[in-house]
Structure 1
Amino acid sequence: MRNLLLLFSTLLLASSCSETIETNTPALQGEVDNVFFRAVTSNATINTDGSVTISGETALETIEVTAESLEVGTYLFGSDSNSEANFTTFDDAFYTTDNSGNGKIVISNIEEGKITATFNFNARRPGINDTLNFQEGIIYEVPITNAVPGDGGQNNDQFTALVDGANYTAVTTQTNVAGNTLFIIANNQQNFVINLSFPLDTATGDFEITEGGDYRASYAISGGSENAISGMITITTNDNAAGTASGSFQFETTSGIMVTNGNFTITY
């Protein structure tokens, strides 16, 4: 199921695995079919029904783990559960516990707007007899982006766009810095996600978005994520000292989804 490309990418992520979780806060990691996985970006979001979804991404894969309540306790995954885990692989294969899968998440601590838990699951591809196993999952002090239920997660950040002509307005945005790369993760009310990433030291100007370059974008819904294959990002301001950036963007995904009129003003 896994190939050399995936192994190479995960080995890069695992190169610092000898460090403790505490030195890599926040952290979302584990083993996918016995291959090390560590999210480059991670965040937690309180949903309108009171459940909490913890999400993580690498350059190639995404994971979402949902517990039906934001309380310390054990929550079981499965087809009859309101808790579930989803995983999208590097080749866009989507696995879910909401299709005769199983497993659990154990929330051990919620403090200062951060969540800590352990989890494991077996997930299946809908309609296909193919199983993915996630073991030794650790969620450590992942920030909750909208810490007060029902507040919409509003902050001073602004992130808007048109997706195939429909308005997209983020209710939560998360920024993370990994190495010299700034990642922006925007979620709207339907939990559709737009991701942007560019070098932290980018000056003002226009930059081409490509699938494997320094300037990247993607669009994700519950069924999986699609990378941008072309597009442009314009950096209007980027002040590393103040930790602020603004700009505009547009891109097209692998299946032809058009994201246009994008604008962002963020802190990081």
Structure 2
Amino acid sequence: MTFKKVLLIMLATIAFYSCEDNLDVDNKPAIQALRNNEFFDAREMSATTNSDGTVTIVGQSVQDRLEINISSSNPSIYVLGQGSPNEAKYTVNNSIVFSTRTGDSNGVVEVEPSLEDGTISGTFNFISFLPNATDTLVMRRGVFYQVPFGSQVGSSVVNNLSARIAGENFRPTSVNPQNNNDLVTVTATGSTRQVVLSFPDNIAVGSYDINGDGDIAAALVVDGNQNAAVSGRLEVTSVNRVNGQVSGTFEFLTEPPTSINVTNGTFTVTL
């Protein structure tokens, strides 16, 4: 091994430990690792709760993509390798895919208790192979830190919602829009709370009252108890019929005796 290569590896390792030591200060959120002894640092990242309850964590650099699929977001150790329901994939130059479901692959993903609602943090290490098992890619000392839940990086399906509930930030781990009988219901689920919006699927750009009557409605669910909105506004700022996307803002006040203010609400959903 040449002196230059050794030096590059040392610099990458130093850079990684420096970032890891200051991750909660300088790099929030972040997905980082040593990839075959080269520093990997995602420029875009996301965590997505899928319809079957599994979770996909994605980190995208300029040309490479890391994708980790695990069975849930619960704090635990998830084993990678052939025969495991969990998988880590690394795509090089948008074309060459290494996977932990091929060759003599192995690894683990450890999800830690969340430090911030609507995010996921943890560590990972794995050995992956090409489909013909002729080449290996190793990811070690991997870390994902406060990666926000939302739409997957690179996907045309966008389902995001955020708000403030009684002055506190609400960041859901899943946003699920459903269209039933021409009425769209958007359910955003956090650890103990849900925000629910409903409106007609043919809604147009404009401002609408939320008053507890009609098809424009909202509710806040806390620990399983639903509190309907008695007043508020839904502002639809964009409707894209081709992509099936609706974006807007909202605020509302729940019925007594809770009388909880939900403010600074924003959403984009794909129907």
**TM-score for both structures, normalised by structure 2:** 0.50
Taking structure 1 as reference, are residues 16 and 79 closer, same or farther at Cα in structure 2, changes over 3 Å only? closer
Please tell me the root mean square deviation across aligned C-alpha atoms, in Å: 3.9
SS of match in other structure, 2:127: strand
**Which residue of 112, 119, 144 corresponds with 1:114?**
119
Paired residue for 1:127, among 128, 132, 135? 132
Q: Which one-letter code corresponds to 2:84 in the other structure?
A: S
Q: Does the residue aligned with 2:113 lie in a helix, a strand or coil?
A: strand
Give 2:87's aligned residue: 84
- CA distance in 2 between partners of 1:33 and 1:246 (Å): 44
Aligned residue number for residue 104 of structure 1: 108
* Structure 2: distance between partners of 1:109 and 1:122: 25
The answer to whether the 8 A contact 1:246-1:263 is kept is: no
| CA deviation profile, 1:32-52 (whole Å, cap 9, x unmatched) | 100000000111001122111
Q: Using the TM superposition, give the Cα deviation of residue 128 of structure 1 relative to its aligned residue in structure 2, in angstroms.
A: 4.0
Q: Distance in 1 between matches of 2:108 and 2:81?
A: 9
Partner amino acid, structure 1, of 2:27: N
Q: Tell me how far 1:172 sits from its aligned partner.
A: 3.0
Is there any run of 5+ residues in structure 1 with no aligned partner, and where? 1-7, 147-152, 154-158, 160-167, 175-188, 190-244, 249-260
Q: Helix, strand or coil for the counterpart of 1:54? A: strand
Q: Which residue of 2 aligns with 1:181?
A: none
TM-score by length of structure 1 reads 0.51
- Retained in 1: the 8 A contact 2:16–2:34? no
Tell me if 1:140 matches 2:145.
yes
Q: Which one has a bigger Cα radius of gyration?
A: 2
Alpha-carbon distance change, 264 to 46 in structure 1, aligned in 2, over 3 angstroms: closer
The letter of the residue matching 1:29 is Q
How do residues 129-208 of structure 1 correspond to structure 2 at under 5 angstroms?
129-145=134-150, 170-172=157-159
Tell me the distance in 1 between the aligned counterparts of 2:101 and 2:57. Answer: 16
Q: Cα 1:24–1:120, aligned 2, differ >3 Å: closer, same or farther?
A: same
SS in 2 for 1:49: coil
2:70 maps to 1:67: yes
The runs of at least 4 consecutive aligned structure 1 residues that moved more than 4 Å come to 14-17, 245-248, 261-268
When residues 17 and 45 of structure 1 are mapped into structure 2, their CA distance, relative to the original with a 3 A threshold, is same
In the TM superposition, what whole-angstrom CA distance separates every residue of 1:74-99 from its partner, at most 9, and x where no partner exists? Answer: 00001111111000012621000011
Number of aligned positions between the proteins: 159
SS at match of 2:51: coil
